[in-house]
Amino acid sequence: MSVRRLTALALLATTACTGTGSAHQTTQHPPSTTTDNPQPVTQPVRRRHNVAVVTTELRNQVAVLQLPSLRVARRIDIAADPKTVAAEPAKGGPIAVVSPGSGTVTLFGQRLQRVAVFRRFNSPQLAAFTPDGEYLLVTDAGAGMLSVIELTNHRVVGSVEVGEGAHHLAISPDGRRAWVALGETATAVVVVDIRNPRHPRVLRVIHPAVAAHDLSFSPDGRTVWVSSAHAGYVSVLRVSDGKEVARIPAGRAPQHVLFADGRAYLTSGYGSSIEMVDPHTRRVIRSVHTPYGSFNLAAAGGRLVVTSVLSGEVTELAAATLRRLHVTRVATVARSVAVLER
């Protein structure tokens, strides 16, 4: 194996979840928007299929996979360094692709047509849609900001400083709060009031017992499940005061957390596993093997889709049983995934 490839794999291993992108100088300008479509998408995805959208950052593309076959339907060129992707949950789109290395967030419509490109971010990391589907929140690690994009007119309409390293975020089911982890090994989690998305404001800072990685609100909104960059468990924090009320054993850290189909799913990329958890009893129901490096996951239509940043494989599982249905390799790196329900 060449020295160049060994170096590239080492860098991927150190940023296995989402990475921080290339270094950029901080800009004094707010993120700008373009709604031009320099590379038009001319072949709409057939609506009879659910599709998984996977970021393949080394290709500067997203791959669109048909479900349940995992056949690659097409590849879409995108701004350099696409790392994370988020889908609007209620309407089956739009989706947002975040590219830290080029400081951009690209918005696609339900048929995966490019509708807007937001530029001049410093180092955007994660995006999340509000439950009402009206706004998109974006964390910017370099600028230490949480920005709010209004989707009806494709404009940045609000922002608040949360702290350097702003990374993973979760939005409460009622759309009133956002929790932001300051880094992938975060010693601080910032709670933001987003009841008025145009004027978000910081409410308090929580310091978890162990360094936090990913965040996910439980469906009832009463707790936030926090994975760790170091510990082999997920902490359950009470929303009202940020206190830890439970610990759930999981695979080797770090993990990601997803609630779907009445269950919680915990992935461990380094442990090559996914755990199914009863969110009420917080007991592990089942654990199965996944390809090494399978960190990120998404769900729709009774199926889970898990991507491996270290093998480039995409795995489809039955959500109810974790039975493996299909596996395919889409690129050297398959980092993040979102599923559009058709």
Q: Which amino acid is at 170?
A: A
The confidence score (pLDDT) of residue 53 equals 96
Quickly list DSSP for 295-327: EEEEEETTEEEEEETTT-EEEEEETTT--EEEE
Q: Enumerate the β-bridge partners of residue 137.
A: 128, 148
Integer-rounded Cα Rg, in Å, for the chain is 18
Domain residue spans of the chain: 39-340
The confidence score (pLDDT) of residue 341 equals 79
Write the pLDDT tens digit of every residue in 108-152: 998 899 999 999 899 999 999 999 999 999 999 999 999 999 999
Class of domain 39-340: mainly beta
Write the pLDDT tens digit of every residue in 42-52: 444 444 578 99
Low-confidence stretches of the chain (pLDDT < 70) are 1-30, 33-48, 90-91
Q: Which amino acid is at 52?
A: A
Q: Which helix (H) or strand (E) holds 258?
A: strand 255-260
